[in-house]
Each structure stands twice: as structure tokens, then as C-alpha cells.
């Protein structure tokens, strides 16, 4: 197995790597996680793990769970993932910080950020179309339809708006190269390029580095990860 960036050198201006963690993807456990973190320690001075544990509650809500139960289940998933992968995290030599999703939910800028992105979604057609396109691509990768029609699509939109709001804080506080094994969402690409008006600008303090996980022992498959992975990787559904 080998983990490597799709594009060379675009991360060179940053000393910090921010690795997005999707708990239910096989690209973030075992050899794939170890390979990605090993590449990070060879190319950066510091590492942040963007641990989207509570963001996953939106997936449980879409599956029919109440917000309270979804919150609890995503917390439990996060604790389990950390228990199973802490040895790998601690194996790298550079300073590494795990930032839980609750950090952003509690941040004073989170709600104002979220409201600005919602307003942009409701008033800027190009941004709305890009975000809805990202949601559609997610369901196509899963070979499924939204579980409850419009309500589930709206929940998926809320998931992505929340991620944008949180990441605007993250990259304001920690300018970094974003390390993730999958394509960048078109809606995020627009924000990062400054093409969405009247929204927080923190995401512009980052560069997206798409990682490729090469599995030499099994057939290459697409990974339908909720955060956007559609690279030829090891297989696992979100």
C-alpha cells in the first residue's frame, strides 16, 4: 500500500497539515491512515486531525434517528475510532493535535458563520447549484437515493453548510494544507477561490491536497465517503 498526493508541491508554503478524518471510511484506519500520517510527518512540522465526530450526527438524522440519539451515537463512534487508532496517531513524531467537532459547535463565530453560508446558499444560485451538485454526487457514489426525499437532501445541505462554517474558523486559526483522500467539493472550491460573496474567508487560508491511497492487494474501487472521497481507493461505505 502507498499513500501519495495527486498534485506535487502545492502544500510547500505551509508548515501545518490538517488531516480530515471520516470515522467510517477505511481510508482513515489501519495501513491507509498510517501511510497518510507518515507522509504528513515527512513533509510538515505540525499535524492537526480535523476529527468530524459530531458532524456525523447528520448521517444518523438522515437515517431516521432523533437529533439527541444521533448526537450520542456519533459521540460513541468517535470514542471507538480514537481507541482503535490512537496507536497509529501516536506513532508519528511531529506534534499532533486532535480537534473534536464540538470545538466548532461551541465557538462564538460558528453560528454567525453558519448563518452567512445559509444566506449565500439561499441567495447565490451558482453556490447553491454547486452545493446541491456535491450532495447529488454523494448519493450517486453510494448508489442510493436520499432516505426521506427532500428532508434528507436538506439535511445533507445542512451537513455541508456546517462543515463550511466550522472550517472557516479552523483555517482562520490554523492556516494549513488540507490533507484528504478524495476530490474537493465544488462548493468548497468556490469558497476557497473567493467566488462566494459575503461569507467568511477563513477557508482561503488553506490549500487542498488530494491524497491517493494505492492498495496493491485488492481491486481498486471508489470510496463513497460522506465528505467527498471518490478517488480510486480501498473500498468502504460511509
pLDDT, residue 194, reads 97
Residue 64 per-residue DSSP state: T
Give the Cα separation of 101 and 229 in Å (integer).
Answer: 19
Neighbouring residues of 15: CB distance < 8 A, sequence distance ≥ 6: 44, 45, 46
Give the separation between CA 115 and CA 85, rounded to whole angstroms: 35
Nearest partner of 25 among 142, 130, 133, judged by Cα:
142
CA angle 168, 171, 177 (to 5 degrees): 130
The reported pLDDT for the residue numbered 220 is: 42
Using DSSP, state whether 122 is helix, strand or coil. Answer: helix
In angstroms, the first-to-last Cα distance of the chain is 21
Return the beta strands (E) in the chain as ranges: 2-5, 16-21, 46-51, 96-100, 176-180, 206-214, 221-222, 232-233
- Residues 64, 32: Cα–Cα separation, whole Å: 31
- Taking only the tens of pLDDT, the chain with its 238 residues reads 678 888 766 788 999 999 999 999 999 999 999 999 999 999 999 999 999 999 999 999 988 999 999 999 999 999 999 999 999 999 999 999 999 999 999 999 999 999 999 999 999 999 999 999 999 888 776 655 555 555 678 889 999 999 999 999 999 999 999 999 999 999 999 999 999 999 999 999 999 999 988 875 544 433 333 333 322 222 222 2
* CA distances (Å), origin 109, targets 74, 82, 102, 114: 23, 27, 13, 9
Please, which residues have CB within 8 angstroms of residue 165's CB and are 6 or more apart in sequence?
104, 110, 113, 114, 116, 117, 200
CATH topology of domain 2-233: Rossmann fold (3.40.50)
What gap in Å lies between CA 112 and CA 23, rounded to an integer?
27
Q: What is the pLDDT of residue 152?
A: 76
Distance, in Å, from the CA atom of 24 to the CA atom of 163, rounded to the nearest integer, reads: 17
Q: Please list, in sequence order, all residues whose beta carbon lies within 8 angstroms of the beta carbon of residue 20, skipping any fewer than 6 positions away.
A: 50, 52, 178, 179, 180, 227
- Listed by start position, the domains of the chain span 2-233
Give the ranges where 91-235 is alpha helix by DSSP (H). Answer: 102-105, 110-123, 125-142, 150-173, 186-192
Q: Which residues pair with 16 in a beta bridge?
A: 46
CA 86 – CA 46 distance, rounded (Å): 17
pLDDT for 145 equals 56
Amino acid at each position: 500500500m502507498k499513500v501519495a498526493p495527486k498534485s506535487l508541491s502545492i502544500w510547500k508554503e505551509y508548515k501545518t497539515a490538517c488531516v480530515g478524518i471520516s470515522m467510517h471510511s477505511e481510508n482513515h484506519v489501519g495501513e491507509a491512515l498510517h501511510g497518510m500520517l507518515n507522509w504528513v510527518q515527512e513533509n510538515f512540522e505540525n499535524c492537526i486531525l480535523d476529527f468530524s465526530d459530531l458532524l456525523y450526527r447528520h448521517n444518523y438524522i438522515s437515517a431516521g434517528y432523533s437529533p439527541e440519539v444521533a448526537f450520542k451515537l456519533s459521540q460513541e463512534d468517535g470514542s471507538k475510532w480514537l481507541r482503535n487508532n490512537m496507536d497509529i496517531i501516536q506513532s508519528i513524531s511531529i506534534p499532533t493535535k486532535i480537534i473534536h467537532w464540538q470545538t466548532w459547535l461551541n465557538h462564538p463565530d460558528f453560528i454567525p458563520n453558519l448563518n452567512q453560508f445559509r444566506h449565500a446558499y439561499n441567495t447565490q444560485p451558482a453556490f447553491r447549484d454547486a452545493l446541491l451538485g456535491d450532495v447529488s454526487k454523494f448519493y450517486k457514489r453510494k448508489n442510493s437515493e436520499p432516505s426521506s426525499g427532500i428532508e434528507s437532501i436538506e439535511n445533507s445541505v445542512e451537513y455541508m453548510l456546517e462543515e463550511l462554517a466550522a472550517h472557516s474558523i479552523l483555517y482562520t486559526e490554523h492556516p494549513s494544507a488540507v490533507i484528504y483522500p478524495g476530490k474537493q467539493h465544488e462548493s468548497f472550491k468556490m469558497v476557497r477561490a473567493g467566488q462566494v460573496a459575503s461569507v467568511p474567508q477563513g477557508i482561503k487560508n488553506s490549500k487542498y491536497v488530494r491524497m491517493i491511497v494505492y492498495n496493491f492487494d485488492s481491486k481498486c474501487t471508489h470510496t463513497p465517503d460522506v465528505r467527498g472521497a471518490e478517488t480510486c481507493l480501498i473500498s468502504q461505505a460511509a
